[in-house]
């Protein structure tokens, strides 16, 4: 495909329902970057029928991308729009509008999440040195390291087991919504969940096109082998139940505070190990029954895995227990 210079941009028909005027958008610093895309923070005036300034995130493409990339980018926007037409959900990154007309880059405007992605957020609770992370009696997760005592004043948040459970619950809720609208994520992982200022979790990147080259080329995540079930690894079969497997891996990431799955297994050996029945161990911060839930998500046969509605109920039952 040819390279589109800034003067040769893909022409996109206007969609009045979602078009947002560029002059009501003040674009600010870059908050995320990939091989093709850039995400910037912005202020939008009067978006979503509210007559005020709202912090938003705007996604755009790099200058030197191909027509094919522009096309894929618009396809992602179309998926987000079609989900949006069916309603919003607090646990997804909702689409707010786009700028496709006039001079300037194609912009897709989505909700902003101040605390960034869940993996980095969880890792920020690990302490730097060889420290001990332990549960206190009140189930607060505390970081013990030199110069950082239990009674110290933390200027950052403290994590609790309840919060980790709430994270698992919120992701299950967002996925239940997406699954009910026949949206299969295909790359559910902590790196693709965003955290707002109020610790609301939002599933991101559910609109990405994942067939073919575009996805493979992305330096951001190649193929996320360690989040994929056998049927997706072996014959690219993606369903709600393959997202459920990934959800099990995501729970494991949550309860290891952003651990890397299967750290000692090379990607190319994973399929064989899974077929032999190998599964990850119980993370230190998970209870036996949470680990049991992970193992159910990792059942070999998709039909033997719970669906997201059941996972929501399971998480609610667990939340009541630690209330």
Smallest gap, in angstroms, from Cβ of residue 209 to ligand ADE? 17
User: Which one, of 228, 230, 231, 178, lies nearest residue 208 by Cα?
Assistant: 178
Give the whole-angstrom CA distance, residue 142 versus residue 150: 7
For residue 198, what are the contacts with CB-CB under 8 A and spacing of at least 6?
none
Q: Which helix (H) or strand (E) holds 316?
A: helix 308-321
Smallest gap, in angstroms, from Cβ of residue 57 to ligand ADE? 3
Binding site for ligand ADE (CB under 6 A): 31-32, 39, 57, 93, 110-113, 116, 194, 204
Residue nearest to ligand ADE (CB): 57
**Is 33 or 64 the residue whose CB approaches ligand ADE more closely?**
33
**Is 93 or 179 the residue whose CB approaches ligand ADE more closely?**
93
Residue 59 labelled as part of a binding site: yes
**Is 145 or 196 the residue whose CB approaches ligand ADE more closely?**
196
**Is 83 or 113 the residue whose CB approaches ligand ADE more closely?**
113
**Residue 252 near residue 262 (C-beta atoms within 8 A):** no
Alpha carbon 53 to chain centroid distance? Answer: 26
User: Which one, of 79, 71, 97, 57, lies nearest residue 9 by Cα?
Assistant: 71
Smallest gap, in angstroms, from Cβ of residue 302 to ligand ADE? 30
Enter the tokens of residue 274: 């899974």
Q: What backbone phi and psi angles, to 5 degrees, belong to 155?
A: -95, -5
Smallest gap, in angstroms, from Cβ of residue 155 to ligand ADE? 21
Determine whether 187 is an active site residue: yes
For residue 182, what are the contacts with CB-CB under 8 A and spacing of at least 6?
none
Q: What backbone phi and psi angles, to 5 degrees, belong to 263?
A: -60, -25
User: Which one, of 206, 197, 181, lies nearest residue 95 by Cα?
Assistant: 206
Smallest gap, in angstroms, from Cβ of residue 232 to ligand ADE? 24
In the set 15, 157, 187, 307, the catalytic residue is 187
**Is 142 or 203 the residue whose CB approaches ligand ADE more closely?**
203
- Directed axis angle between helix 161-180 and helix 240-255, to 10°? 170
Catalytic sites, residue numbers: 187
* Residue numbers belonging to the annotated binding site for ATP: 59
* Residue numbers belonging to the annotated binding site: 59
């Amino acid at each position: 495909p040819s390279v589109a210079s800034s003067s040769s941009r893909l022409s996109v028909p206007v969609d009045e329902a979602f078009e947002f005027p560029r002059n009501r958008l003040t674009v600010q610093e870059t908050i995320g970057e990939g091989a093709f895309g850039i995400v910037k923070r912005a202020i939008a005036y009067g978006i979503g029928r509210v007559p005020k300034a709202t912090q938003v995130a705007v996604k755009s493409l790099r200058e030197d991308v191909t027509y094919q990339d522009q096309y894929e980018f618009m396809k992602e926007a179309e998926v987000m729009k079609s989900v949006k037409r069916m309603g919003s959900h607090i646990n997804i990154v909702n689409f707010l509008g786009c700028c496709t007309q006039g001079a300037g880059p194609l912009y897709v405007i989505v909700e902003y999440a101040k605390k960034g992605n869940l993996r980095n957020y969880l890792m920020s609770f690990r302490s730097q040195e060889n420290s001990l992370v332990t549960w206190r009696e009140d189930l607060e997760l505390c970081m013990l390291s030199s110069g950082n005592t239990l009674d110290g004043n933390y200027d950052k948040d403290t994590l609790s087991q309840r919060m980790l459970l709430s994270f698992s619950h919120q992701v299950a809720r967002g996925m239940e919504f997406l699954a009910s609208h026949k949206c299969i994520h295909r790359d559910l992982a902590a790196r693709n969940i965003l955290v707002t200022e109020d610790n609301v979790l939002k599933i991101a990147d559910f609109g990405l096109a994942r067939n073919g080259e575009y996805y493979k080329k992305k330096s951001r995540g190649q193929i996320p082998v360690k989040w994929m079930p056998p049927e997706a690894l072996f014959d690219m079969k993606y369903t709600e139940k393959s997202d459920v497997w990934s959800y099990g891996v995501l729970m494991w990431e949550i309860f290891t505070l952003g651990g890397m799955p299967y750290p000692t297994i090379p990607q190319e050996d994973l399929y064989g190990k899974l077929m032999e029945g190998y599964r990850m161990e119980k993370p230190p911060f998970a209870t036996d029954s949470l680990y049991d839930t992970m193992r159910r998500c990792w059942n070999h046969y998709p039909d033997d895995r719970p669906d997201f509605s059941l996972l929501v109920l399971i998480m609610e039952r667990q939340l009541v227990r630690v209330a």
